[in-house]
Structure 1
Amino acid sequence: NLEYARDEMKKYADIHRRPSPSYKPGDKVMLSTENIKSRRPKAKWSDKRMGPFMIVKEAHPEIMVDGHEEFVIEKFLDWKPTRGNAIQFLVKWLGYDDPKENSWMHEGYLEECGTHLEDFFKRCPEARDYFENRTRVPPKKKRRARS
């Protein structure tokens, strides 16, 4: 019964869905200006899209965005639990010696730092115990106000 209901819901939801467009070199596309700063006095007067731009070549699916500085972790200094049994780590960044430049980072942003994490867990075994034995609590849904 549940499988039938799920299939019916999927069938009706898929009526309005379209497959993602695939682009190839030579195609022309319009770009959203949602994250681009405009020189217009009001954001609502800005164009929603810019272009058309011609696709020159296909890029690798994982690309590095120019203009964004990449920070390297030197080591973890401390940890604290947060809502939903998540963890934040106090990070010391490589090349930044001022303690004011250390920052608290959510565990979800620290994907490629396994060796630093292992070193920290050796220095702080209670953090490892909490990290491995916690139960994840999903965030509560926001309730709508009645009108």
Structure 2
Amino acid sequence: MFGLPKMLQIPSGPWNPLSMDFITQFSLSNNFDSILVVVDRFSKMAFFIPNHGTITSLELAQIFISHVFSRHGIPQLKISRDLSTAFHSEAGGQKERVNQILEQYIWIYKVVKEELESKTRRFKKYADRNRSITPDFQPGDKVLLASKNIKTTRPTKKLSERWLGPFEVIEKIGSHAYHLKLPLQWKSVHPVFHMSLLEPVNQSSIPNCNQLPPPPVLVEEQEEWEVAQVLDSKLKRGKLWYLVEWKGFSEDPERTTWEPASSLTNSTDLVKELHSLYPDKPGPIT
């Protein structure tokens, strides 16, 4: 073996001196196809700076100012490129070793990324077997809402209605959710739902087929039927009562009931509407 060993300068402190090298001929990514490796010989800290293979000396100086000088000051550059050889411990062998480590990182990243993409494609393939494309609901469309996240008055989930509604679509939120117009009594329920909880309303083709009355809704975990209209008012033993028509029973006059004013705290708009049409009827004391 020819050539006597030559001792390199012992680093006097962080980033004094440093070594640098280029790794080139990568596939183009974000307009970059090479990496500038800058290594601190004292601490072994390294910068991996993306760039392109046609970099000029002026661009290289700007990279050093932005990534090295601005953080660690001006270093001493004392290793000539002519003395550097790969797979050798002398001269610039330290940065060559860092280059090998970086290439291992890149290879591992590439392999892991390909494996994750493959697993994701397989997962999507099997998941899509039990799914269909969701209709693109538009504002004003009527939809049914799955009841699995809504507490009902049934003693068990098995006896609960599978679908509630119909409800009107107000707007689309993002790509997978919709804002629905919920009853006033549902003020404790957030009105935005994922598309997987919605179904389009299919109109019956049977003539004069009436929809079944909706089930009672919940207001803060208490059962409450939805008020359709306030028809009349009266005073009974000094207390104010209202004649209420319930939503879903408008075709059955016998289902209207007299309710105390204290039971209509969630229907103040309908109460105000009654008194604006009939100002002479008994109303709340103001």
User: Normalising by the residue count of structure 2, what TM-score does the alignment of the two structures yield?
Assistant: 0.22
Rg larger for = 2
Structure with larger RCO (C-alpha < 8 A, sep 6+)? 1
User: Normalising by the residue count of structure 1, what TM-score does the alignment of the two structures yield?
Assistant: 0.41
Instruction: Flag the structure with higher strand content.
Output: 2
